[in-house]
Amino acid sequence: MIRVHAVALRSGLDREANAAAARTAVLRAADDGAALVVLPEYAAAFDPRGVSPDQAEPLDGTFVTALAEVAERTGAVVVAGTVLPGARPERAVNAVVAVGPAGVLGTYRKVHLYDAFGHRESERLEAGDPAAPPLVVPVGDLRVGVMTCYDLRFPEAARRLVDAGATVLAVPAAWAAGEHKADHWATLLRARAIESTAYVLGATQQGRGVVGGPAVVDPQGVVLDGRPDAGADGPERAVADVDAATVEAVRERNPSLVNRRYRVLPGGPGLDMG
């Protein structure tokens, strides 16, 4: 069994304060025995009106350095949202880093920019390459695939991670508020778990402009802990013990991944979002 924490934070624009909050969250999780800690999208810097290039910093900046230090201290793997500089000065990158005791394990740059429900991430951010190798990192006998927020609405994003060996999907998010949005978050977390026969860990921003609480969902779509349908003030974390044997047993009983007849490949309309 591996203990996991999916954490809710209230990040702002103060990098030092955000790094301190992330460090505290990881230390608290590690004290509870967690080997995997998932923090929200934009944990490094968040503005509900839209994160800009002003909030970007490189991987050796304040936030990721703090994650690396606390991961080395605790032995935990930490998955968290950050903002990286873009290729052009007027653009930033919505990214998720996976950090372990030995340092940065990998970086995922958000492929599906949030150009929906009246928002336009593509006006400030550049999209990740959909053909980039999926980010899947080992944590004990589990393999953790990384996606973020709006990616959750695209089942092929989860399926590509599963094809790369993921048994757990980590989903940092800053789920924008709106009509039915908390229900969407809760429903989509469970749907991705059921169709992927994988655990899903959702970590959320809280406060103004966002909804949805943290959750740990099992491979049959059962919420083990958390309140994914919460409003802006849900619980601080969702905690559960997960294991590869459960995934294996569910996939044996429900071999939908084996029985499918379609592959997922990069490509399609709407990919030029930069």
Q: How far is residue 241's CA from residue 224's CA, in Å, rounded to a whole number?
A: 9
**Cα pseudo-dihedral 220, 1, 135, 99, rounded to 10:** 140
Q: How far is residue 194's CA from residue 220's CA, in Å, rounded to a whole number?
A: 5
Among the listed residues 57, 121, 126, 149, the single catalytic one is: 149
7 — phi, psi (to 5°)? -115, 140
Active site residue 181: no
Q: How far is residue 39's CA from residue 157's CA, in Å, rounded to a whole number?
A: 20
Q: How far is residue 112's CA from residue 122's CA, in Å, rounded to a whole number?
A: 9
DSSP-derived letter for residue 206 is -
Token look-up 């940092």 returns 172
Residues 6+ apart with CB under 8 A from 71: 26, 77, 78, 99, 100, 101
Among the listed residues 57, 110, 121, 126, the single catalytic one is: 110
For residues 215 and 8, the answer to whether their CB atoms sit within 8 Å is no
Pick the closest to residue 152 from 228, 265, 78 (CA basis): 228
How far CA 271 is from CA of 52, 115, 127, in Å, comes to 21, 12, 8
Residues designated catalytic: 41, 110, 149
